[in-house]
Each structure stands twice: as structure tokens, then as C-alpha cells.
Amino acid sequence: MSNINEQKQAHQLTGHPWLVLTTVMVGTLLIGLDRTVVNLALPKIISDFSISVSTAAWIATAYIISNAIFVPVFGKLGDLFGNRIIYFWSFIGFIGVSVLAGLSWNFSSLVFFRILQGLVGAAVYPTAMSLIAKSFSDTKARAQALGIWSSSFAVSAVIGPLLGGYLIDNFSWRWIFFVNLPIGIAGLIMTILFLPHDRPGERGTFDWFGAILLSGAISSMVLVVDRGQDWGWFSLASNLCYVGTVVFCALIYRWEMRHTHPIIDFKLFRNPVIVSVLVVSFISFGGMMGAMLLLPVFAQTFLHYTATQSGYLFVPMALALPIFAPLGAWLANSFNPRYTVSFGMALGALGLYQLIHLDPAMTSLNFIMPLTLFGAGLGLGMAPLTNAATTAVPLNEVGMSSGLLNLTRNIGGAFGIAIFSTILANTTNVNVLMVAQNSHVLGVTPAIQALAAQLIILKAEILSYGVVFGYAAAAMFIGGLIALFFLQTTMNGTDIPPEVLAEAQIGG
């Protein structure tokens, strides 16, 4: 009994749990804002640096690859050396690099600083999840806290266009980076005051070679997913990335199975909870990120909204998420979480489905109900998934588990964006022929013929956006069905290995 009490004391943190939650939410919002706002600034950056659209895409690609690589790395570092120290120094690094990105003197320097931003920002998500999991010893309170925290990730995707659009329209694209300074300083002060110091624990040898192999696998995969449409999915560059992904994945599996402190413990994939959470998260985030990318593009292209106005469309979603995320956590504690996740995914799918009939005559009022349902569904579904990923492993592996979850979400989002962008392009080509065949042009003058061609392309593009939102809705619905029939949870404790149950009893 005394041994259990000592372990329990070692796992508990000294900070007030709700202050810890508030502190890490500031960091989560800051990193999330930075990810979502940069795409709005691309037109101004293209103009200032005189670059092409395809070249400018590397601003986002560089960040995505760097971030995806280091999320699991920092998750493991947090488990080995303490979450507070990793969170603290990464926060300082993110603030400094953000200022440097705002001062970029050419395109190459901006891409370099975006790589660094992705690197230091990657530490926030896994360490934040681990800090929350270790701060709340009561499982119900932990679930609610993780529900609130998980909503901050999605809320950042909504606030980003609002804040970023205003800064870009009224100041300069550089201010989307400079604004991180005051917010970051406030978050840093909270980190110093409210995050408790790490307790001494087991210190293993960090798997540097495993990290290099993991970097190769993720870089190859994310690179082809992000750039494959421009290169061609079966081009030489894409094929090299496919081969690189397979080779690096095989090497990392062989290496990690032999390492005493692996970055990714493949034994986690024997845990039915972790596997089912990763599958549902991959599919649902693919649908979410694909939809979130295309809606502002549609608003600015066909409704002629400014960046700020397109951001206002997401206000209903921003209001629904913080309300329904704690509700999702509460329902998951009262009923089997698979029902909450499934219903949430279905509700989100219904919201997206209502956008299949997009029209240039639409007003902002037409988006209120679809995006409210979408936000409510995400809130209900994300909280139980996040909680399941942290309660299904021992507390000393929460960082690894959360890093794996966020890596899966990142890759799922990248796949969603790539797949839906490809569907949009291919569907537009098909629709141009269909609309042209069913159109009658009353006039033969060159001016009339040119105008008719423009209108045909416009109609084809609008129809294509509706098709893409239909696919996004289908992806969310499929994620809900998988959750309903296959999602494993810790509710009854029957699916969790005995060693994990022992750790859960120590932590609770």
C-alpha cells in the first residue's frame, strides 16, 4: 500500500489542475492560430516576394512537415525528461521564431523560420495533454478538462481567420507573426506561475537514431501528400516519396522493436483503445480539415468576401465548440463513449451535408445552421477520443500516446486536404464538360462566346465545391460508423491490459 501511495504521489502534480488547464490552453490556441492564419496571408506574401502560387505553398508545407516530425519526438522527450521543461523552452522558442518570421527579408528566410516554428511548436500539443492527464487524478474531471482543452484546438481554427483577416486587411501580413509576441509573453508568464515543476522520475536514453528514421518516414509521407497534386501522383518525385516512406517505416519498425526507450512503442498498437481512437481520428480529421480549407476559399472566390468577412462565417462554429466539448465529456462519462463519438461525428456530417448546395447568392445567414451543427458535432466527438487516448496507457506513456494521436490527426488532415483538393480539381474538369453540353449560348460573337465560357467554368467550379462537401460529410459519417461499431473504451476496464489498469488505479 505504501508503495502504491508513493507512486501515486510521484504521478501527481503540485499545480492547481484548472490553472494548469487554462495555461496550456493559451499555448494550444497560440500554436493553432499560427497554423490557420498563414494561408490567408499567402496572396500578400506572393505579391511582396514576387513568387508563384506553387512556390508559396512551401510556406505551409515546411511547417506541416517539421511539425509532424517533432510531435512524437517531443511527446517522448516529455515522458523522459519532464513535460514542464519541454513546454517552457518550446514556448520561448516559438515566440522568438515568430518575431523572426515577421522580419523575414526574403522568401527563403520565411520558409526557414516556418520550419523552426513547426519544430518548436510541435512540443505544445503532446506536453499539454500529458500535463492535463497528470494534473487531474479524478477520471471524470480529467475527461471534462481534456474536452475543454480539445475544443481550443478547433476554436483556434475559427479565431485564426477572424484575427488574421483583420491584421492582414488593416496592417500587414507580418503582423500575423508579430501578434504572437504579446500573446506568447502572457502565456509564458502563466507557464512560470502555474505549471508545477517536474518531479524526478525515470530518465532513459533518448532514441536519436529512431528520431532520424521517423523524420525520414514522416517527411516522405507528408511531402507527397501535400505536393503530390502539383507534381503528379505518379511522377518521379512522388514515386521516390512512396518508396522512401515504405523503406523508412520498415527500418523504424525493426529499430524501435529493439530499443528500450522507443519514440513510438509499437506495443501501443496492441491496445484496442489506441488503435480504434487513431482510426476514428484519422478519418474525422481528414473530413474536418478538408472542409475547413475549402469554405474560406469559396467565400472569398465566389461570394467576394474579404479575409475578415470569411472569418466571420466561422463564428457559429466557434460558439458551439466550447459549449459542446464539455458536454461531450460529460455524456461520455454517463454513457458508453462510442455513442457520444458516433453521434458527434454524425452531427458534424449533417452540418457538412447542408453545404452541398452552395450558391453565389448565399448570405452569411445560410452558413449559421450548418456550421453550428458541425461545431457541435466536433465538440461532442473530440473530447471522448482525446480522453480515451490518455486513459488507455500508463501515466508515464501519456506523452507518447498523445504525440501519436496528434501525429495521426496531422497526417489525417494532410490527407484530407490533398484528397479533397484533388477531387475538386478533377470534378471541376468533369463538370465543365457536363455544363457545356447542357448549355445553350444565344449569340455567336467572340465577346458572347468568351463570356459564356467564363460562366460555364464558374458554374462547374461551384458545383464541384458542393461535391467535395458531400465527400467530407461522407468521411465524417464513416468515422461515426466506425466509432459506433469498433471504438473501444476504458469504461468497463475490460479492454485494457492489466498493467495499464494498475497504472490507472495508481493515478486515480
pLDDT of residue 137: 75
Overall average pLDDT of the 38-61 stretch: 75
> What pLDDT was estimated at residue 233?
81
pLDDT value at residue 476 = 86
> At 438, is the pLDDT very low, low, confident or very high (cuts 50, 70, 90)?
low
The residue that leads in pLDDT, 24 or 388, is 24
Could you tell me which residues come within 8 angstroms of residue 269 by beta carbon, excluding any fewer than 6 positions away? 275
| Chain position carrying cell 497534386 | 229
pLDDT band at 350 (very low <50, low <70, confident <90, very high): very high
Least trusted range by pLDDT, from 292-296, 314-318, 486-490:
486-490
What is the band of 340 on the pLDDT scale with cuts at 50, 70, 90?
confident
| 78-86 average pLDDT score | 80
Which pLDDT score is estimated for 277? 83
* Residue 2: band (very low, low, confident or very high) from pLDDT cuts 50, 70, 90: very low
Q: What is the pLDDT of residue 395?
A: 67
Give the per-residue pLDDT at 91: 85
Per-residue pLDDT for 428 more than 60?
yes
pLDDT of residue 13: 44
Question: What values do phi and psi take at 210, rounded to 5?
Answer: -60, -35
DSSP state of 201: -
| pLDDT tens readout for residues 218-273 | 888 877 877 777 788 888 888 898 998 899 888 888 887 777 777 777 777 777 78
pLDDT of 4 > 50? The answer is: no
Give me the pLDDT at residue 204, please: 59
pLDDT of residue 48: 84
CB 384 within 8 A of CB 490: no
- 434 within 8 A of 256, measured Cβ to Cβ: no
- Specify whether the CB–CB gap between 401 and 268 falls below 8 A: yes
The confidence score (pLDDT) of residue 508 equals 31
Q: Tell whether the model's pLDDT for residue 351 goes beyond 70.
A: yes
> Which stretch of 90-104, 357-371, 378-392 has the lowest confidence by average pLDDT?
378-392
Q: Mean pLDDT across the stretch 85-102?
A: 89
Q: Which three cell numbers stand for residue 256?
A: 524501435
- Nearest Cα neighbor of 284 from 370, 343, 223, 222 is 343
pLDDT given at position 440: 63
**pLDDT category of residue 54 using cuts at 50, 70 and 90:** low
pLDDT at 464: 81
Contacts 24+ apart (CB under 8 A), 56-61: 57/226, 57/227, 57/230, 58/111, 59/110, 59/111, 59/114, 60/114, 60/226, 61/222, 61/223, 61/226, 61/227
Q: What is the mean pLDDT of the chain?
A: 77
Proportion of the chain above pLDDT 70, given as a percent: 83
pTM for the whole structure: 0.72
Residue range 118-171, pLDDT digits in tens: 888 888 878 887 888 778 777 777 777 877 777 676 667 667 777 777 788 788
Distance CA 184, CA 172 (A): 19
Give the model confidence (pLDDT) of 378-410 as tens digits: 888 877 777 777 777 776 677 677 777 777 877
Residue 47 pLDDT greater than 70, yes or no: yes
What's the pLDDT score for residue 500? 40
